Structures are given as C-alpha cells and as structure tokens.
Structure 1
Amino acid sequence: MGRVQNKVALVTGGASGIALSTAHLLANEGAKVVIGDFNIEGAEKVAKSIVSRGGVATAKFLDASNAESIKEAVDYTVETFGKLNVLFNNVGVTNINKDLDVVNIDLGEWDRIMNVNAKSVLLGSRYAIPHMVEAGGGSIINTASMGGVASDAIRTAYGASKAAVVNLTKYIATQYGKDYIRCNAVAPGLILTPAAESNMSEAVLDIFKKYNALPYNGEPDDIGYTVLFLASDESKYITGQTIEVEGGHYIANPTIADSNAFINSQDK
C-alpha cells in the first residue's frame, strides 16, 4: 500500500476498461484521482465506487476531441486537490468500419482518430506540464498500442495515431526531463476489456491466444499495474520508454504457432 501516496492523478477515459482499472489501483495505493470521461455518469459511478472503498476520487466531464475540455479537466484537478503529479492519457477511439486500408479509408475518420488519439495526448500534456513543474515534477503515462509498432490489414489511422503517441512520448521526455517530469507509454496487446469481450467472438479471442507466448490473453489490471508502476517513484529512472504489455504476442517468428502444430501432428 502507499505506492503513490499523496499523489494527485488525472485519468482520462476512466469510466471503463483499462483506465477504470487503473483509477482503482491508483486510489488503492494512496493517490487522489480525478476520472475524466465523456461518459460523465460512468465516471461518477467509478468515483463513487472508489470512495466507497475508502479512496479519494471525483469525476469531471472530458471530451478528448476538444482542447478547452481537456484544459478544464486539468485545471479542475489542480483546483480540487491543489496539484497534479500524474497524468494518464488513455482516451482512444477506433472504427473498423471506416478505418480501413490506405486506399479505402474514410479521410474524415482519419482526421477524427488522429485528433483524439494523438492530439489529445499533446494537449493533455501541454496543459498538465506547467502544473507539474510547479509541483516539482510528475509522471505522464500515455496509452499507445501494439498497433503503433506492428501493422495490420485495416485500422490504418489507429496504427498511425498510436505510432505518433510512441514518438511524442519521447519528445515530451526529452524536453521536460530537466524539470523532473517523466513521460512513458504503455502499448497494450489484446486486453479483455468488457468492450473487447462483447465485440469479439471466442473464436477470434482464441486466435490471439494462439499466437501469444503466454497461454492467455491480457486483462485490464495487467495495464493498470504497469501504469501504477510508471506513476510511482519506483520508476523514477525510466523515461521516454514504451513498455509493451502484450503477452509475448509479437516477439516470435509469426509462423511458430502453426509450425509447432504441424510438427506435433507429424509426431502422431
């Protein structure tokens, strides 16, 4: 307990999934947490849940596509708790119906995804950094994706936006490290959020599992604990890094699962 005691954290997209898990873990370890989300009712529900367990949390409406809304959430955090030590830039969008291959992608969708997934990270950091400097330092954690380092048949804008997050993380770390501000990213693989489980069949989930080095898919807490580590002073000498939390899905020759299955079939 107490890994982030007395720190103040703003968690964007905190009403569900990865950020919901992270908000609870930060609060459990002593942080005061603001849950920023477009779904304000969901954010308030998370805050109440944290408070009911003895934590400190509040909710604030946040539209990650709107610069003023992001600034208001940052300012609200400082006005409510007196400082800002941790920013978790987690909001992200995707659309498999419009975010297609390069020839067929909807260009309006490209602009929307880049605005939310990449620009919101820039803006959140832009507004948070002066407050972190005043507080004597801080930790910014950005949600990237394995889609930012490995290509796919579709989701071109999503992958490009997450690649931008990976590189923007390095720029922030370089430019503000002397102010005791660290910036790192987490790149999740498949994570079994409620949205993933409701939108993906067991057969598809099993395909992902097949190509993992580990015999299971990830869960929101797997990302949450990584963010908690990066938010804490335990990671005080780590900055500019993207930590891949993906079960070993991308580490091996992609044919290995099928090759092993073929070899085993021959043995029989």
Structure 2
Amino acid sequence: MGRVQDQVAIVTGGASGIGYATALKLAKEGAKIVIGDFNQHGAEQTAKEIKLNGGEAFGLFMDAAKEDSIKNLIDFTVESFGKIDILFNNVGSTDLNKDLDVVNLDLDEWDRLMDVNVKSIVIGCKYAVPHLIKSGGGSIINTASMAGFTGDSIRTAYGSSKAAVVNLTRYIAAQYGKYSIRCNAVAPGLILTPASERNLPPDILELFLKHNALSYHGKPDDIANAVLFLASNESKFITGQTLQIEGGHYISNPTMPDFNAFTSE
C-alpha cells in the first residue's frame, strides 16, 4: 500500500478495460485520480467506485481527437489537486472495418488513428509536462501495443500508430529527463478486456493461446501492475523503455507450435 501515496494521476481511457483497472490500482496505492474518457458515464462510474473505496477521483469527458478537450482535462486536474505527478496516456482506437491492408485501408481512418493514438499523447504531454516540471518531476506512461513491433494482414494504421508511440516515448524521455520526468510505455499483447471477450470468439482466443509461451491470457490487472511500477519510485532509473507484456507470444520462432505438433505425431 502507498506506492504512489498522495500523487496526482491522470488516466485517459479509464472508463473500462486497462484504464479502469489502472485507475483502481493507482487509487488503491494512494494516488488521487482524474479519469478522462469519451464515455463520460463510464469515467464517472470509475471515479465513483474509487470514492466508495475511500479514494479521491473525478471522471470527465475527454475527446482524444480534440486539443481543447485534452487541455481541459489537464487544467481541471491542476485546479482540483494543485499538481500532476503521473500521466497515463491510455486512449487507443481502431476500426477493423476500415483499418485494412495498405491497398484497401480507409485513409480517413489512418488520419483519425494518428490523431487519437499518437497526437493525443503529444497534446497531453504538451500541457502536462510544464506542471510535472513544477512538481519536481514525475512519470509519463504511454500505452503502445505489440502491434507496433510486428506486421499483420490488417490494422495497418493501428500498428503504425503504436510504433510511433514507442519512439515518441523515447523522445519525451530524452527531452525531459533532466527535469526528473520519466517516460515509458507498456505494449500489451492480447489482453482479456471486456471488449476482447465480447468480440473475439473462443476459437480465436485459443489460436492466440497456442502461440503464447505462458498457458493463459493476460488480464487488465497485468497491465495495471506494470503501470503502477512505472509510475512509482521503484522504477526511478528506468526511462525511454517499452515494457512488452504479452505472455511470451512473440518470443519464439513462429513455426515452433507447428513444429512441436509435427514432431509429436
């Protein structure tokens, strides 16, 4: 308990999934939380749950594609709590009906994802970093994705945007480290968020599991634990890094499951 005691944390995309789990985790460890999400009701419900458990929290509407909306979230946090110590840039989006291969993808969707998945982080940091400097430093954590390290048959814009997040994280870390500001990222693999459980049939989940080194899927708490570590002083000498949290899905030769099946016959 108390690993981020009395620190002020902004969590974007905190209405559900990874953001929700992280907001609760940071609050349990003593942080005061401001949640920003397009789903305002969900953000308010997350804040309500934190307050019912004795914490301090607010839930606000935030449109990650709008600069004014992000700035409002930053300004509200400083007006409410006087400072910012932790910024968790967790908003991410894609549309699998539009984000296809390079020939067939919708270019408007490409632009939208670059705004929501990358530019929102730039804007959040643009307005939050001066407050972090005033606080004597702090921690920025960005949500990347394993899609930023691999190729796929679809999700071209999403994967490209998340690759940009990985390198943007290095730039922020390099530019503001002398102010005692650390910037790291988490890159989840398949995580059993409510959305993935709703949208992925059991056969697809089993297919992913076949290629995991570990024999189970990740949960939102697995990412939340990593964010808590990166937010706390336990990681005070770590910056510019992207922590891959993916159950060993990407570590082996991709033919290994098929080869093991072949040799066991």
TM-score by length of 2: 0.99
1:150 aligns with 2:137: no
Encode CA deviations 1:140-198: one digit per residue, 9 max, x unaligned: 00000000011110000000000000000000000000000000000000000000000
Written as runs of structure 1 = structure 2, the 5 A alignment for 1:1-268 is: 1-265=1-265
Q: Note the residue ranges of structure 2 that are not aligned, 5 or more in a row.
A: none
User: Any stretches of 5+ residues in structure 1 without a counterpart?
Assistant: none
- CA positional deviation for 1:262: 1.3
Separation in structure 2 between the aligned mates of residue 178 and residue 169 of structure 1, nearest angstrom: 15
Q: Secondary structure at the match of 2:74?
A: helix
**AA paired with 1:250?**
Y
C-alpha distance in 1 between matches for 2:263 and 2:96: 35
Structure 1 range deviating more: 253-262 or 185-194: 253-262
What code does the residue aligned with 2:180 have? Y
Offset at residue 25 of structure 1 (A): 0.2
**Secondary structure of 1:185's partner?**
strand
Amino acid at match of 1:74: I
Q: Which amino acid aligns with 2:221?
A: D
Cα distance in 2 for residues equivalent to 1:124 and 1:264: 52
Matched position secondary structure for 1:59: strand
Measure the CA separation in 2 of the matches of 1:121 and 1:207.
32
Query: Over aligned residues, Cα RMSD in angstroms?
Result: 0.5
Structure 1 stretches of at least 4 aligned residues deviating more than 4 Å after TM superposition: none
User: In the TM superposition, what whole-angstrom CA distance separates every residue of 1:105-157 from its partner, at most 9, and x where no partner exists?
Assistant: 10000000111001001111111000000000010000000000111100000
SS of residue in 1 equivalent to 2:162: helix
**Number of residue pairs aligned between Structure 1 and Structure 2:** 265
> What SS does the aligned partner of 1:55 have?
coil
Which secondary structure does the structure 2 equivalent of 1:182 belong to? strand
Q: Tell me how far 1:45 sits from its aligned partner.
A: 0.5
The one-letter code sitting in structure 2 at the alignment partner of 1:240 is: G
Q: Matches of 1:160 and 1:43 in 2, distance apart?
A: 28
Inter-partner Cα distance in structure 1 for 2:53 and 2:258: 46
